[in-house]
Amino acid sequence: MILTNDVAIVTGGASGIGRAIAIRFASEGAKIVIADLQNESLFPEEKPDTVSVIQKSGAETLFIKTDVSSSREVNSLVAETITKFNKVNILVNVAGIFIRNPIVDVSDGEWDQVININLRGYFYTMRAVIPHMLKQGGGRIVNVSSIHGIRGTGTAATYCASKGGVEQLTRQVAVDYAKQNIRVNAVAPGTTRTHMCQPYLETPSIRAEYDRRTLTSPRLGIPEDVASAALFLVDPENDFVMGTTLIVDGGWTIT
């Protein structure tokens, strides 16, 4: 129970990687605040909802409806967390979207949508929680990036740009707050079996690339793989890990 007495905010916690992280952290003793647009997952295999799973395990949790691209809603999320639990020890930014289009086909609206959720949302949440972490004497932040923030991939200009921004934002904020005992790191998943990725797993040409580049194929990543990496990064014993990206990709980036 390495997170006993910790309070963790997990954005995008209703489904996919965020759901797996929320459930795993709760199993390690953390109180979990799930920030998402809806509590119920849209996907039948992710039933019951994350809150119910965590409550059934005996852990304490709270769902707060949040659009991470809205600074007002993010500020309200953090304020409500502090009101309920009087602190926030951990922030995990997961909420994101993935749209494939070559840059010449990307509309202004698509660009804004992806950047606002995938990058601006991380900025908003970190800006909101860090003052509270400073008052508490420290905290841990994990930003879920992507291997496509490190390496490009076909027809994903908006996604790659947003995740590249997450990578550098993570390092920069780590530089600013390491001396104040706030650890900031990222985890970069490769191909992971979530519904955001499912349409591409069903596209033969894209699936062939995934299988060729992932050394563990046919075993592709699952959300629990990323949850284990995130847990490592918030473990108090790993306090010498700072401003880095833990890649969880089945070997993709070394091929």
Q: What is the dihedral of CA 231, 83, 97, 120, to 10 degrees?
A: -100
Q: How far apart are CA 235 and CA 155, in angstroms?
A: 36
With CA atoms as reference, report the closest residue to 63 among 26, 99, 107: 26
Query: How far is residue 46's CA from residue 138's CA, in Å, rounded to a whole number?
Result: 33
- CB neighbour list of residue 8: distance below 8 Å, 6 or more residues apart: 22, 25, 30, 31, 32, 33, 88, 89, 90, 91, 92, 234
What are the tokens at 28? 């390690």
User: Could you tell me which of 112, 35, 113 has the C-alpha nearest to residue 76?
Assistant: 35
Catalytic annotation, pick one of 124, 159, 177, 210: 159
40: left (phi over 0), alpha (psi -120 to 50) or beta: beta
Known catalytic membership, residue 210: no
Nearest residue to 145 via CA among 246, 217, 216:
246
Which residues are identified as catalytic? 159
